[in-house]
Amino acid sequence: MTTRTRVTVEPRACMADPQLDVMNFLNEAVMEFPAAVSFAPGRPREDLFDVRGHVQSLDEYVRRVAAIPHSGGADAVWQAMGQYGPTNGVCAEAIARHLRVDEGIDVDPRAIMVTVGAQEAMAILVAGLCEPERDVLLVSHPTYIGITGIARVLGVRVIPVESDDDGLDPERVERVIGALPAPARVRAVYDIPDFNNPLGTSMPVERRRALLEVCRRAGVLVIEDNPYGRYVYDHAPRPTIKSLDAEATCIYVGTFSKTLFPGLRVGYLVADQEVVSSGRTLAEELSRVKSLITVNTPPLLQAIVADALERHDGRLGPLIAEKVERCKRQRDAMLAALAAQLGDLVPTVSWNVPSGGFFLTVTLPFPFGVPELRECAKQFGVVVSPMTFFCVDGSRSNQIRLAFSYVGPDRIAAGVSRLAAFIRHRIAAGDAGAGA
Amino acid sequence: MTTRTRVTVEPRACMADPQLDVMNFLNEAVMEFPAAVSFAPGRPREDLFDVRGHVQSLDEYVRRVAAIPHSGGADAVWQAMGQYGPTNGVCAEAIARHLRVDEGIDVDPRAIMVTVGAQEAMAILVAGLCEPERDVLLVSHPTYIGITGIARVLGVRVIPVESDDDGLDPERVERVIGALPAPARVRAVYDIPDFNNPLGTSMPVERRRALLEVCRRAGVLVIEDNPYGRYVYDHAPRPTIKSLDAEATCIYVGTFSKTLFPGLRVGYLVADQEVVSSGRTLAEELSRVKSLITVNTPPLLQAIVADALERHDGRLGPLIAEKVERCKRQRDAMLAALAAQLGDLVPTVSWNVPSGGFFLTVTLPFPFGVPELRECAKQFGVVVSPMTFFCVDGSRSNQIRLAFSYVGPDRIAAGVSRLAAFIRHRIAAGDAGAGA
C-alpha cells in the first residue's frame, strides 16, 4: 500500500494557537536536551509510585467487595468492572468519605462525578456550563494552561484576573465582574488557591471567604482546582474554599494524580448545586456531557482509588507522607540553592517562598521567552518554563516557573547553579535594564 | 454542615435536549423494570470478560517489556506506567500491527491516537476539525447518538443522510454535499458501515469504494466508526473503508470495548492525513485537543491492550472467537423467535436480517415512542429502543431497535414472545392504521 499523503487537511484555525501546545513544547524541550536538568514539568517523581502494589491489591479489594451481601461473588465483581458502568462513576462514596475526613468537605456522593483526570472535569465544566460567545470564564492569572486551552477549543471567552503574592484578589474579581457589559455573563471564576500552578502562592483564609461572598452575591460559580493541597510544608493545611462554602457557590475539582500516581488518570468534580429544572445535583446533570466525552471513567482505575482510600479509612495521609516529605526536601534544596547562588543579586533577581506544592516563581531583570529557554537549555544545561507560557496576554515576560517536584536535591543544586550562571551571563551582557 | 442547595444553577440550554440523555434514559428504563427482558442496551455480555486474567497478565507483560534492552528493568516499567505519558499513547505499535494483520489497514503508528474509548475519539475529531457555526457534519441516519450528541454540545451542525437497507448511499451523500450553500462546508461524513448501530445493516463493498471517491473529490473526510466489524456471522468480513483508502480520505475509529471489554475504555483513531502547515500527521496534530480533554489514556489500560494483542501476534480472532460465536447464536435465536412469533404478520410487521453485529431493526404498523416503551416494559415485560431515539429529526417513528448482544437465547425467546404480545395487542386495539 502506498503512503496516504495526497489528501491534506488543516485542523481548526484556533488549533494553531501555540498556547495549546505548551505542554507538548515543554516535554519536547526536555527530550531535546536530555543532559539538561529539568525544572519544567510539574510532575511527581515516579520512584515512589507503587503501581504494581495497587494493581496486585485489586484481588483483595474484589474479595472484600464480594463479601458484601448481594454482590454476586468475586467473578461477578470482576465482570462488573469490565462492563459499562454508571456515567458518574462507582467510587463516589469512597471519595465523599475522603473529602469528609481529609478536607472537611461534606457532600452527598450524588454530587460527585468521577472523571478521567481533573482535566476531563474542566472540559465537562466549561462545555456544560458556559455558552460559547456569551459566557465568560474568569481565571486567576497566570494560570494552568489546561483551563485556558479547553476554553479556547470550546469557544468560551477567558478574562484574566491578575494574582498577587497572596494569589487571587477577591476585590479585583468583583471589579472585573462589575465592569463586564451585558449580554456577557461571568459564569465562573477558576483558581488553584492551594500552591498555585504556576505561581506557588497560597490564598489566605480571609480571601477564600471573601471570594465566596463576592461570587455568591454575583451569582458566579467558583471553580476550585486542588491538585497540590496535600503537599503542605510550613503550616497546617488551610481550609479549601469548598469546605467554607455553605451555599453551594463552589465547584471543587480534585485528582489522585499527585497523591497516588498520574497514570491512574482519575480525578473528580464536586458539584452539589441544585439544578432547578430537574431537582438533581449539577454533577448528575453534567453526566450528559461526561457520557459524550468518555462514557464513564474506567472502573478498574476507580477500584484502585476506592481500594487505596478504604484501606486507610478515607485518609490520604499515610499514602503520601513520604512523597510530601520528599517534595518538601526538594523545595528546601531549591530555596537553599537559590539563596547560595543568587542571594547577592537580590532584589535584582528575586523569588517567592511557597509553603507547599510543586512550584516557585523567579523574577528576573530581563525577559525570558522561548529563545532564552533554548539558550539556557543548550548552553547552560537547565530547562525552565517562561511564565508567559501561563499567560493569555503575554505578560510576566520577566518571570520563570521552577518545578521542584521532579528532580532530586543534588540535581536541584546543580540545576540552580546552571540557571544562576545563565542569569549572570545575561546580566553581564547588559540585559539587566531591558525589563527590570 | 447544612445542605448546600440555596444557590441554584442551570447548565447550558442545549443540555436540555432529551437526545443528550438517551443513553441514561435507556439504562434507567432497564433499572425501572428489573423483571423485563432488555433488548435496549447495545452491550456485550460480561460473563465472557476475562478482566482478572488481563490484570494478572500485566506482571508477565512487564517482564517481557523489561527484557528489552534499555527498558530500565521491571520497576522502571511499572513506574513509567504510573507517570504522565505521551499524549497520543504508548500502544500505537501494537494497534498498528493489529490493523495490518486483522484489517488490512497499513498505517504508521504516528497516525494512531489512543483514546479513552471511541467516544473520546469522536469528541476530539469534532472539536479539532469542525468550526462551530460554519462546518457541517453529515451522519448516516439513523445514527449513533454519541456522534450527534457531541456535535450538539460543540455547536457543530449535523445533517442526516438517510440510510437504506444497504446502509449509507454515496449518491445521496454527493447530493447533500452539492446542495449545501456556502459558506457552510461539509467537513466529514460519519458512518458505521459494518453492522450499523442502530440499523444492523452492512454496506456493500462497491458503496464503500464509491463513498471514498465521492468524498475524495469533494475534499470531505470519511469517519469510519467500526466497533462491531469483528462480529461477522454469515460471510467473510468486508474490507473496512480505511483498508480501501489509498489517498487518506478516511479517518478510522476503533475500540476494544466489544472485543476485550467496555470497562477498559480504550479506543483509538487513525488519522494518517498530512497536515500541510506542520508536516505532521493529523493524529499528531489532534494531540493538542486530546491533551486538553484527558491528557493521555491511562497507560495501565493501554498495557492490557498491548499485552493481549502481543500474545496473539496482533490478532483479535483467538481472543473473541467464543464471544462472536455466542453473539451469532443469540442473533439466530432472535431471528427464529421473530419468525415463530410474528411470521404470520409479515409484511405488516417486518425486520431485517443482519449478517453481523449487535442489532436488528423491526418495522411496526404503529408508532413506537416513549409511551410505548413504558407500556411495553411495564405491561409486557420487555424493553426495546424506539428508533426515533437515534434520529435527529423525529423520523422512523414506526421502528424499533433490538439488541441481541446482551441477553441469552432463552431470554431472547421469552422477550420476543412478550414483544409479539404487545404488538398483537396494539394491532388488535386498532392502531394498525396509524402509521402503516
List pLDDT tens digits, range A107-125: 999 999 999 999 999 999 9
Between positions 183 and 212 of A, the ones with CB within 8 A of B are: none
The residue type at B132: P
Between positions 337 and 396 of B, the ones with CB within 8 A of A are: none
The residue type at B296: N
Which residues in chain B have their CB less than 8 angstroms from residue A127's CB? Answer: 12, 153-154
Say whether A285 and B2 touch across the interface (CB within 8 A): no
Give CA–CA dist B277/A9, Å, rounded: 9
Q: Among partner residues B10, B20, B292, which is closest to A275 by beta-carbon distance?
A: B10
pLDDT tens-digit profile, chain B (436 residues): 333 334 567 888 887 787 777 877 777 777 888 899 999 988 999 999 999 999 999 999 999 999 999 999 999 999 999 999 999 999 999 999 999 999 999 999 999 999 999 999 999 999 999 999 899 999 999 999 999 999 999 999 999 999 999 999 999 999 999 999 988 999 999 999 999 999 999 999 999 999 999 999 999 999 999 999 999 999 999 999 999 999 999 999 999 999 999 999 999 999 999 998 888 999 999 999 999 999 999 999 999 999 999 999 999 999 999 999 999 999 999 999 999 999 999 999 999 999 999 999 999 999 999 999 999 999 999 999 999 999 999 899 999 999 999 999 999 999 999 999 999 999 999 855 444 4
Give CA–CA dist A225/B360, Å, rounded: 46
Examine the predicted complex and report whether its ipTM is higher than 0.90: yes
Which residues in chain A have their CB less than 8 angstroms from residue B112's CB? Answer: none
CB neighbour class for A16 (10 Å; exposed up to 12, middle 13-18, buried from 19): middle
Between positions 47 and 86 of B, the ones with CB within 8 A of A are: 47, 49, 51-52, 55, 58-59, 62, 78-85
**pLDDT at A8 (0 to 100):** 61
Which residues lie below 8 Å from residue A25, measured CB to CB, with a gap of 6+?
Answer: A18, A389
pLDDT one-digit tens code per residue, B373-396: 999 999 999 999 999 999 999 899
Q: Among partner residues A246, A276, A294, which is closest to B8 by beta-carbon distance?
A: A276
pLDDT tens-digit profile, chain A (436 residues): 333 334 567 888 887 787 777 877 777 777 888 899 999 988 999 999 999 999 999 999 999 999 999 999 999 999 999 999 999 999 999 999 999 999 999 999 999 999 999 999 999 999 999 999 899 999 999 999 999 999 999 999 999 999 999 999 999 999 999 999 988 999 999 999 999 999 999 999 999 999 999 999 999 999 999 999 999 999 999 999 999 999 999 999 999 999 999 999 999 999 999 998 888 999 999 999 999 999 999 999 999 999 999 999 999 999 999 999 999 999 999 999 999 999 999 999 999 999 999 999 999 999 999 999 999 999 999 999 999 999 999 899 999 999 999 999 999 999 999 999 999 999 999 855 444 4
Which residues in chain B have their CB less than 8 angstroms from residue A187's CB? Answer: none
Which residues in chain A have their CB less than 8 angstroms from residue B23's CB? Answer: 87, 291
Say whether B82 and A261 touch across the interface (CB within 8 A): yes
Which residues in chain B have their CB less than 8 angstroms from residue A1's CB? Answer: 106, 246
pTM value?
0.96
Which residues in chain A have their CB less than 8 angstroms from residue B79's CB? Answer: 46-47, 49, 51
Between positions 282 and 311 of A, the ones with CB within 8 A of B are: 282, 285-289, 291-301
Alpha helices by DSSP H, A202-246: 205-218
Radius of gyration of chain B (CA): 23
Helix axes A22-32, A370-380, angle to 10 degrees: 20
Which chain B residue has its CA at the smallest distance from A216's CA?
A: B7
Say whether B11 and A128 touch across the interface (CB within 8 A): yes
Q: Among partner residues A16, A82, A245, which is closest to B263 by beta-carbon distance?
A: A82
Task: Give the residue among A425, A404, A400, A416 at the shortest CA–CA distance from A341.
Answer: A416
Name the minimum distance, in Å, from the CA of A108 to any CA of chain B: 9
The H or E element that residue A305 is part of is helix A299-311
Task: Give the residue among B119, B106, B82 at the shortest CA–CA distance from B255.
Answer: B119
CB neighbour class for A106 (10 Å; exposed up to 12, middle 13-18, buried from 19): middle
